[in-house]
Amino acid sequence: MKIAISFIGTGKYLNFLEQYYETFNEKFQPNDEKHFFVFTDGEIEDAPPNITLVNISEDFDIKQNDYDPNNWYNLMHQSVGGLRRFSIIKTIEDKLKEFDWFVFIDADMYCVETVEDFFDDTKSFFGVQHPTFHESWSRNTGQMPHERNNLSVTYVDPSEDDGIYLQGCIWGGKVPEVIDMINELDRRVRVDVENNVLARAHDESHLNRYRLDNKDSFNILHPRFAFPGNIPASQFSHEPTFIHAPANKAEILRR
């Protein structure tokens, strides 16, 4: 298989790329061809051949920690603002058509064990169950944080809850189906923006609404693929496969 992996990291978030690339390149689907699309406003010296640098500073007025509460479309979330995430990825739509699968993984993640059977070919899309809204977390309340503002296109009526809530840190799917999903999510974001509505979890809310609209097409990954490195491991009943938000995240961002 040919797998496209998307890394988005502006400013200091580019510091995460070294561990991200080394671990996912080595341990994630090691027998398949992987290519990393690195969206950043920084520079990379001597990049390996399976990395394509995508400079987003020219096309998008994005700066790390650029937060303007009066301009929700520029709202920052994690490495780059979730509300602009889909439109950023759309810039490589033609390149993605050369691949079988597209995988978005947050910049502050890394792989800790070999994964050889990640994809379910019977499903068009995949997402990971949020680890702190899952029974394996000792403090789980069983309540899903879906969008409850019915003015947003991401609105989820409580009757629709099925115990699944995806974390926006990792998602993707088959090409070309995932390209259609990215375009549709970008369209929905723009509808909310035009209506002056901000979904409570930004891109994550849009992803979860889309999942509920397409339940049968989604493979739900175990939360071990989004193990929070900033929460004591003793609070979980499973071991990690991917670490999200490493314990030394603040130190990495200070480099």
Q: What integer best gives the mean pLDDT of the chain?
A: 88
| Eight-class DSSP state of 60 | S
Q: How far is CA 176 from CA 28, 190, 251, 254, in A?
A: 22, 22, 39, 39
- Give the residue-averaged pLDDT of 43-60: 85
Level-2 CATH architecture, domain 2-254: Alpha-Beta Complex (3.90)
Residue spans of beta strands (DSSP E) within the chain: 2-8, 33-40, 51-55, 101-105, 109-111, 125-129, 166-174, 218-221, 227-228, 242-244
- How far apart are alpha carbons 240 and 111 in whole angstroms? 9
Residue spans of beta strands (DSSP E) within 113-240: 125-129, 166-174, 218-221, 227-228
Over residues 73-132, the pLDDT tens digits come to 444 333 335 678 898 999 999 999 999 999 999 999 999 999 999 999 999 999 999 988
Task: Give the residue extent of every domain in the chain.
Answer: 2-254
- How far apart are alpha carbons 1 and 32 in whole angstroms? 5
The pLDDT value given to residue 200: 87
The pLDDT value given to residue 68: 46
Question: How crowded is the C-beta side of 129, counted as CA atoms within 13 Å?
Answer: 18
- How far apart are alpha carbons 173 and 159 in whole angstroms? 27
Positive/negative CA dihedral, 146, 147, 153, 159: positive
Pick the closest to residue 226 from 172, 185, 166, 181 (CA basis). Answer: 166
Over residues 142-183, the pLDDT tens digits come to 678 899 999 999 999 999 999 899 999 999 999 999 999 999
Find the radius of gyration of the CA atoms of the chain. Answer: 17
pLDDT band at 65 (very low <50, low <70, confident <90, very high): very low
- How far apart are alpha carbons 98 and 25 in whole angstroms? 19
The pLDDT value given to residue 136: 72
| Eight-class DSSP state of 194 | H
pTM of the model: 0.90
